[in-house]
Chains A and B, each alone.
Chain A
Amino acid sequence: MKAHPGTSSASRVVLEIRGPVTQAQIAAATARLITSLVAPRQLKHLLKTIFVEMAQNVLKHSQNTSAIPATISITDTGDSFTIHSRNAASPAAARQVAEIVSDTDQLSRTGLVRIRRTELHKPRQSGCAGIGLIEIRRKTASPVACSISPLSADESLVEITATLRKQACS
């Protein structure tokens, strides 16, 4: 795991985590990042929310036997932060992620709040990143990009990209 806290107007990676990682390492990296960023507290909190939700997925896939390690990174592009995650998953799980991203893409804020509430009150399901993705979509107020690439009959590569605009939070 490596962390590069800091900001500048140039586009650069400010944090990158590569699996396998532990929850403690995620927390430590998050704390270092948030402490080092010069930004409004609301923006820092939203960035933390998105990063931690996506990092949980990296953590979950850290134990995978896939040759492709799960990764997550934050890039400061000047006017926004781009949070990108990549991990291998079963084709079924990958399809599920793509469906959730697609289903929530066109929803209004009210619709996202409603669907989030519905999902939160459902019984727990293991291995589903649904509510986290809804939360990311809601907090960024921007579409979440999702790319699925088949690796084999048993494995697909899932890439998720969320964008948090700085101006929207200032």
Chain B
Amino acid sequence: MLMSTFEIPATDYTPHVFEDSKTGVIWFKGEAYPENASAYFQPIMEWIRSRIAEKQPLKLAFSLDYLNTSSTKALLDLLAILEIYHQQGGKVSVIWYYPCDLEVMKETGEELLHDFSLPRLLEPVGRLT
């Protein structure tokens, strides 16, 4: 998989964030409970803002095993930026992947996207273990 220059490696409690330069999809994979979610997501927000300033189409894919409330709040801030871009005519789409045996993560995705009109898809995935 080809990566762009923007990439934040995963830790045990933060996700792997990267753009797949082949598909253009911006991925969030793994765990999301940083000690300071606001600080953690700040560079990601700045990067997304720069992409919006360039009027780039944005495809975001979330494949998170877990996220805490602080990260949920940070993602809502991110989605709010995307919502404005979408309403201004920007091309944005969001895919929320959730384990097929973990209904709670589907619910999390539904709740996150509830207040937004962004094109979205909630997609179950099988266990990879």
Contact = CB atoms under 8 A, between A and B. Distances in A.
Q: Among B12, B69, B111, B115, find the residue whose CB has the most chain A CB atoms closer than 10 A.
A: B69
Given A42-B101, A53-B68, A56-B70, A121 B76 contact: yes
B104 A56 contact: no
A45 B66 contact: yes
Contacts of B69: 53, 120, 131-132, 135
Contact of A41 (B68, B101, B115): B101
Contacts, number: 59
Contacts of A132: 68-69
B83 interface: no
Contacts of B68: 49, 52-53, 56, 132
Interface in A53-88: 53, 56, 59
Nearest to B76: A120
Contact of A52 (B33, B72, B102, B111): B33
Interface of B: 11-13, 31, 33-35, 38, 66, 68-70, 72-73, 76, 99, 101-105, 111, 114-115
Given A27-B13, A124-B38, A135-B69, 5 more contacts: A23-B35, A28-B12, A31-B12, A49-B66, A56-B68
B111 A124 contact: no
Contacts of A113: 111
B16 to A, nearest CB: 15
Contacts of B70: 56, 131
Contacts of A26: 13
B73 A124 contact: yes
A131 B71 CA distance: 11
A27 B31 contact: yes
Nearest to B70: A56
A18 interface: no
21 contacts: A23-B13, A24-B13, A26-B13, A27-B11, A27-B12, A27-B31, A28-B12, A41-B99, A42-B103, A42-B104, A45-B105, A46-B104, A48-B66, A52-B68, A59-B35, A117-B115, A120-B72, A121-B115, A124-B38, A131-B70, A135-B69
A15 to B, nearest CB: 16
A94 to B, nearest CB: 20
